[in-house]
Amino acid sequence: MDGPSGSGKGTVSRLVADHLGWRLLDSGALYRAVGYAAGMAGLDLSDAEAVTRCAETTKIQFRAAADGGDTRVIVNGHDATDELRTETAGAAASAIASVPSVRQALVALQLGFRKAPGLVADGRDMGTVIFPDAPFKVFLTASAAERAKRRYKQLKEKGLSVTLAGLQREIEARDSRDASRAVAPLKPAVDAVLVDSTGMGIGDVVAKVLAVVKL
Ligand SMILES: Nc1ncnc2c1ncn2[C@@H]1O[C@H](COP(=O)(O)OP(=O)(O)O)[C@@H](O)[C@H]1O
Ligand SMILES: Nc1ccn([C@H]2C[C@H](O)[C@@H](COP(=O)(O)OP(=O)(O)O)O2)c(=O)n1
């Protein structure tokens, strides 16, 4: 499941994976974790060699939350789940994700998630680069205005201080960087089913995605 920020990939992927009893890979969390670790180490995010070393050495673990809430993301032993959800972490992730050797450093880890009975993987290049032979591919979109509204609500609920206009600018800047980079740009795989979730409820989107999965 690939698509731009706020299209609902994470939410829909989790529900689809739960429904099918499949595993889940939130690939964006890996890029966020590396961006976060690089920031903690005081690295210059435009220093390709330093951030590549960081991607090669950062220890990233996913841990189910005890209360059934969001999966926790542990970065070098520290639970960084909350820090990783911020738009600053998203921007840092997008910056380091444009470095080809950083992407390369995360390939094996992602491939390791592919296990029976199945995997739902969410990101930007799941259907194009990491799992090109995936039998079912969805490219999930929504208008930039709607995606900004969703993110605004989500971050406000987490108590973060954000503005709608600021978020829309940040989301559009990130999408344009993700889509224009030379390696693994954000774009639908040729065999992906396009789902535009603008104006659709989460349940309807999940049903549409499940209809793509023909077992
Ligand atoms: N179809 C939808 N309608 C309304 N809100 C949605 C929809 N899909 C997702 N959301 C909400 O939008 C926010 C961003 O969704 P998320 O799954 O994190 O997107 P992504 O992983 O694509 O960035 C979340 O708060 C989520 O609950
Ligand atoms: N497979 C992926 C996943 C994410 N990235 C990069 C580009 C994205 O802007 C950042 C953050 O991704 P993430 O999916 O967590 O972001 P959103 O939840 O969609 O806002 O990481 C990537 O380059 N390739």
* pLDDT tens-digit readout, 201-211: 999 999 999 99
- Quick one: which ligand is closest to 148's CA? 1
| Alpha helix stretches (DSSP H) within the chain | 9-20, 27-40, 48-57, 81-84, 87-96, 100-105, 107-111, 144-157, 164-180, 202-212
Q: What is the arithmetic mean of pLDDT over 134-156? A: 95
| Alpha helix stretches (DSSP H) within 134-201 | 144-157, 164-180
Q: What is the arithmetic mean of pLDDT over 142-164? A: 93
Which residues are near ligand 2 (CB < 6 Å)?
5-6, 9-10, 27-28, 31-32, 90, 93-94, 97, 123-125, 174, 178
Q: For residue 94, how far is its CA from the centre of ligand 2 (angstroms)?
A: 6
**pLDDT per residue over 35-84, tens digit each?**
999 999 999 999 999 999 999 999 999 998 888 788 999 999 999 999 99
Identity of residue 136: F
Is residue 74 classed as helix, strand or coil in its secondary structure? Answer: strand
Q: Does the annotation place 9 within a ligand binding site?
A: yes
Topology of the domain comprising 9-212: Rossmann fold (3.40.50)
The full set of domain ranges for the chain reads 9-212
Percentage of residues of the chain with pLDDT beyond 90: 91
**Do 18 and 146 contact (CB within 8 A), yes or no?**
no
Q: What is the pLDDT of residue 69?
A: 80
